[in-house]
Chain A
Amino acid sequence: MFSLQSITGVIKSAFLTALTLLLTSVIFSGAIAAEPVIPRGKGEFCVEPTDVMRKDHMKFLLHQRDATVYDGVRTKKHSLNECVTCHVQSNTQGDFIPVNAPDQFCESCHTFASVKLDCFECHATTPDSEHSALRELLPSKSMLNVMAFRQKLEGRSTYHAVDDPSLSEDLIGILKE
C-alpha cells in the first residue's frame, strides 16, 4: 500500500514537471501569433492619426453607422466603405482581395489581437467596381483569351502575360510581384 502511494506520487510529480517544462517551452519559444501585416492605404494620411485609429476606429464606425442608418448622413470620413476602398489590395490579375482575407488589412490585425471581426458578415469586403485600377492597365480577360487563342494557333500551349513583349516593363514588374 505504501509503495503504491509512493509510485502514484512519483508519477504525479513527473507529470507536473513535464507540464511545467512544456508551458515554459511554449512561453519562451516565441510561439505567439505572427505580427500583423499592415499594408499601407492609398494616400498620405488616414482620416485620423494612426495611433487614434488603432485604438478607436470602432468608435468612429459605431457613431457613423447610427448617423447613416437612422439619419441618412452619408459623409465619407468615417464610413466603413471608405475604409475598404482605401485599404483594399489587388492581386496580380488586378482583382480586389477581400479585406477580411487572412493576410489582409482588417483580418491580419484582428487575428493578432484575437478580436472577432463581424462587420463583413453583412458588409461588402471589396469596393463595388469589379476591377481595380490595375485591371484597367492590364489586358482584359477577354483580351487575354484572344491572346491565348492566338498563341495556341502559333503552336504554344499557354499565354503568360509576364512573357508578353507588348506589355510595358512596369506592368511586368507588378505582375511578377
Chain B
Amino acid sequence: MTAEINAKRRRLIKGAAAVAGLGSGLQLVELALAKSDEEAVSALQRWGLLIDSSKCATNCTACVSGCNEEHNLEGFDRPETDAQWIRKLDLTDQQTQHVSSLPMLCQHCENPPCVDVCPTGASFKRDDGIVLVDKHTCIGCRYCVIACPYKARSFVHESLHNQKSYSPRGKGTVESCTLCVHRVDKDLSPACVEACNTKGNGAMMFGDLNDADSEIAKQMKAAPSRQVREDLGLNTGVRYQNI
C-alpha cells in the first residue's frame, strides 16, 4: 500500500517535472524520484534492458569487464567453471555470413524456470521483476543452472575473498546477474549499461518497462524488439533489437 502511494507520488512529481522541467530543477526531481531506503520495491515497476545488437561490436567486451569489476568476479583460469554473469556471443547467419554480436545474461523472465525448479525457494523474483538468488537459502543443487535456457547461472566452486560489500558471493551457492540490484535501488543503472555507454558503443538501455513515459518503453514501442527463445513464453525483461 505504502509502495503504491509512493509510486503514485513519484509519478506526480515526475509530471510536475515535465511541466517545470529545466536546468537545476531536473536534478532536484531526480533526487526526489529515488526510492527511499525504507521503501519496499513494488510490482508497479518492472526493470528491464533493451539491447541493440546493431550497435554491439564483435570485439567489444566493455559490459563484461564492467560487470566483473563491479562484482569482483575474479577468475581462477578455469573458463569452464569460472563465474560469468555476462557472455558476449557472436552469431553468424549461415546463409549470408553476417555476424552480429550481443551480450547474453540473465533475462529476468516474468515466468522464470529457475524459480520453478528451486527446491528451497532460494531462487526468486523480486516484485519489480529482478530475478535473484537468496544465497542464505541456496543449497547449491544447481537445478536452476540446468533449467535456465540462457545458461545465465554460475556456481561458485572456490572459497572467495575480497567480495564487495554490496555484492556478497560465496562458495557452494549459485549466482547470476542481479541487474545490479544495489545500484537499481539507488536509482542508478546497472554497471554493464554504464560501461557500454561510456567505454562501449551505447548498445544497452536500462529502464522501467511498465512506465510508458520511460525512454526504454518509448524505444520498444517505436521499433521492433525480440525476446531470445520467445517460443518458451517466459516474457523476458531483457529484449534485443536487430537480431
List residues of chain A with CB under 8 Å of any chain B CB: 65, 67, 69-76, 81, 84, 121-124, 127-128
CA distance A81 to B134 in the complex (A): 17
| Complex A-B, nearest 10 residue pairs according to Cβ-Cβ distance, in ascending order | A122-B170, A71-B40, A122-B168, A72-B41, A124-B165, A121-B170, A74-B37, A123-B168, A81-B165, A75-B37
Interface residues of B in 167-191 (CB under 8 A from A): 168-171, 173, 181, 185
Minimum C-beta distance from B188 to chain A (A): 13
A122-B40 contact, Cβ under 8 Å, with A69-B134, A72-B185: no
Known: A65-B136, A70-B134, A74-B185. A122 touches B39 (CB 8 A): no
> CB distance B165 to A128 under 8 Å?
yes
Q: Interface size class for chain B?
A: 20 to 34
- Contact for A73 among B40, B124, B170, CB less than 8 A: B40
Of A65, A84, A123, most B-chain CB atoms within 10 Å: A123
Pairwise interchain contact A69-B170, C-beta atoms closer than 8 A: no
**Contact indicator B164/A72 (Cβ below 8 Å):** no
Bound-state Cα–Cα, A70 to B42, Å: 11
Q: Complex: how many Å from CA A73 to CA B170?
A: 22
B interface, CB within 8 angstroms of A: 35, 37-41, 124, 126-128, 132, 134-136, 159-160, 162-166, 168-171, 173, 181, 185
How many whole Å from B105's CB to the nearest CB in chain A?
20
The distance in angstroms between the C-alpha atoms of A123 and B170, with both chains bound, is: 8
A69 to B123 alpha-carbon distance, docked (Å): 11
A69: B residues at CB distance < 8 A? 132, 134, 136
Other contacts beyond A122-B163, A123-B165: 11, CB < 8 A:
A67-B40, A72-B128, A75-B37, A76-B37, A84-B165, A121-B171, A122-B169, A123-B163, A124-B164, A124-B168, A128-B164
Do A73 and B169 touch (CB < 8 A)?
no
Q: Chain B residues near A121: list those with CB within 8 A.
A: 159, 170-171
CA distance A170 to B137 in the complex (A): 48
